[in-house]
Amino acid sequence: MHNSFMTWFLPFLIIVGKSLLLLIVLLLLIAYLLYIDRKVWAAVQLRRGPNVVGPWGLLQSFADLIKFIIKEPVIPAGANKGVFLLAPFVAAGLALSTWAVVPVSYGWAIADINVGLLYIFAISSLEVYGVIMGGWASNSKYPFLGALRSTAQMISYEVSIGFVMVTVLLCVGSLNLSDIVLAQNNGLGTWIGIPFASFLDWHWINLFPMFVIFFISALAETNRPPFDLVEAESELVAGHMVEYSSAPYMLFFLGEYVTIVLMCAMITILFLGGWLSPLDIGWLNRVPGIIWFFLKVCFLFFMFAIVKAFVARYRYDQLMRLGWKVFLPLSLTMVIITATFLKITGWR
Amino acid sequence: MLTGPAAVFFYFFSLIMVASAVMVVAVRNPVHSVLFLILTFFNAAALFLLAGAEFLAMILLIVYVGAVAILFLFVVMMLDVGFIELRRRSFKYMPIGVLIGFLLLAELIIIFLSSSFSSKFSAVVSAPIDMVTRSNTQALGDVLYTDYAFYFEVGGIILLVAMIGVIVLTLHHRTGIKRQSIAEQVSRTSETAIEIKKVESNKGI
């Protein structure tokens, strides 16, 4: 009995503990990233942004949380109740579950699985279900149309995201996310003889076109402006979320932001060297990896927020054209070029 | 034989899988039916993971749940078919369905029987992978791109032909619609875009 406790139950408890810790940190982080998002947006438009709740408005997200929870959830009379309530849980649950494989520092992943990259790709391709179930179950025209548009958009950009991931893993030779980060210890910087500038070793410099494509595709995949055609706050209402209110709406909202932070983390891991320090200097190397990871994610989120503030919204046909006629051929060509280059030079 | 937590997980996933597979054919609403199908796929992926085939599990999720099932869902949600009516009539096809079911079952049984007779079969199917040096993904890739490269590429070309065929069948270029041509827009210069006319006073153009 004691033996089975040590071999099965204790690891189980440790995993549950780790997951809870990650969940709490992630949710706190999102509360403040939401605040940063609104502040940046406000600053660009010469407004103040949230500044009433708490000092400098720091508690705004928590006030919003309480508001969402104590409001009455309204379920439309003709809605398919089960699916209607299931959809937000699917959206938020799937978004959160992708974080299980993200290594936030060396060896700091809940599940350091061999096919980590594929896992993230698989789960993020499932996130479409939250959208389409919500849109259909509302039993109303506009959510349904919004859901269809959103689904088409997400599926289109998944293709180019997939090819970008293929290029990176061609350079690395592993689907394990930790291996992808560790492979960025050696790269262009080391090769041209500047060993201390380890930020030159990362993939963003030798795969720069892929870095840009991934960033833009991530914006489209998460329905962020300039690709937020589904929500388009100034024209439509909220796409597939029109009929949702209070806690179910909050879950959709949460899922969306968790996915955005995940995309920032993915860009960090694939292109910006994950938890590695940008300069190979003694005291910088002693800074814990998670700090670097956090700073990089915050930087990328800032980029997401800035893009939201000053890029005009795309039209739907332009969005589809960009996805299928520009990004798909470009990323496919880059896969072929990278593979050929690696085969000829034997770089890896 | 499975023991310990692995067995618990196995029975858990299998139970949900079988139950949701039954629900696929039992529920009245076709959308619910597709959702149960997705649950079935999901549990199948979990069973693959338990069997140590993590690559297959992820591919099952990406291909079937992430793409094929979404297509099903689209079709079922958007087509206005009288599904209740269809279901009532479907009892007519019951005997042939049962027949096909038994045929498949018989074939499965034959496969398992022949595997115990033919030594080559079991050698191919249960060839162990050296898990220390190579991961599941690498082992699969090695086989797919060396021994079976030809069949793999033929499969790819068949899919490509199917895709092009579908595009050709469904693409209609209607005339008389204003289309945006990006190349045309980009290649415009001030000479081709602007026309300067001298306007005399007290006269229009």
Distance CA A52, CA A42 (A): 14
- B78-89 residue pLDDT tens: 776 666 666 666
- A190-228 residue pLDDT tens: 777 777 777 888 888 888 999 999 999 999 988 888 888
Nearest-Å Rg of the Cα atoms of chain B is 28
- Cis amide linkage into residue A226, ω under 30° from 0: yes
Q: List chain A residues with CB under 8 Å of B58.
A: 115, 118-119, 121-122
Distance CA B51, CA B53 (A): 6
Distance CA B9, CA A129 (A): 25
- A20-70 residue pLDDT tens: 999 999 999 999 999 999 999 899 999 988 888 888 889 988 998 999 999
The backbone region for A234, taken as left when phi is positive above 0, alpha when psi lies in -120 to 50, beta otherwise, is: alpha
- Give the residue, A242 or A7, on which the prediction is more confident: A242
Q: What backbone phi and psi angles, to 5 degrees, belong to B106?
A: -60, -40
DSSP per residue, B31-86: HHHHHHHHHHHHHHHHHHHHTT-HHHHHHHIIIIIIIIHHHHHHHHHH----HHHH
* Closest-approach residue (CA) in chain B for A139: B77
What rounded mean pLDDT belongs to chain A? 87
For residues A106-126, average pLDDT: 86
Q: What share of chain A is helix, strand, coil (3-state, %, to 5)?
A: 70, 0, 30
Q: Does A132 touch chain B if contact means CB atoms closer than 8 Å? A: yes
pLDDT band at B181 (very low <50, low <70, confident <90, very high): confident
From the list B62, B77, B78, the residue facing A121 with the nearest CB is B62
Q: Does B129 touch chain A if contact means CB atoms closer than 8 Å? A: no
Helices B4-26 and B30-50, axial angle in degrees (round to 10):
160
For residues B148-158, average pLDDT: 93
For residues B169-198, average pLDDT: 84
For residues A179-189, average pLDDT: 83
Q: Does B17 touch chain A if contact means CB atoms closer than 8 Å? A: no
Over 60: is that where the pLDDT of B7 sits?
A: yes
- A222-261 residue pLDDT tens: 888 888 877 777 666 778 888 888 889 899 889 999 999 9
Q: Is the dihedral of CA A287, A293, A294, A300 positive or negative?
A: positive
pLDDT band at A303 (very low <50, low <70, confident <90, very high): very high
Structure tokens at A59: 């508690």
- Give the residue, B66 or B114, on which the prediction is more confident: B66
Q: So what's the ipTM on this one? A: 0.82
pLDDT on residue A276: 86
The backbone region for B161, taken as left when phi is positive above 0, alpha when psi lies in -120 to 50, beta otherwise, is: alpha
pLDDT on residue B107: 92
For residues A123-137, average pLDDT: 88
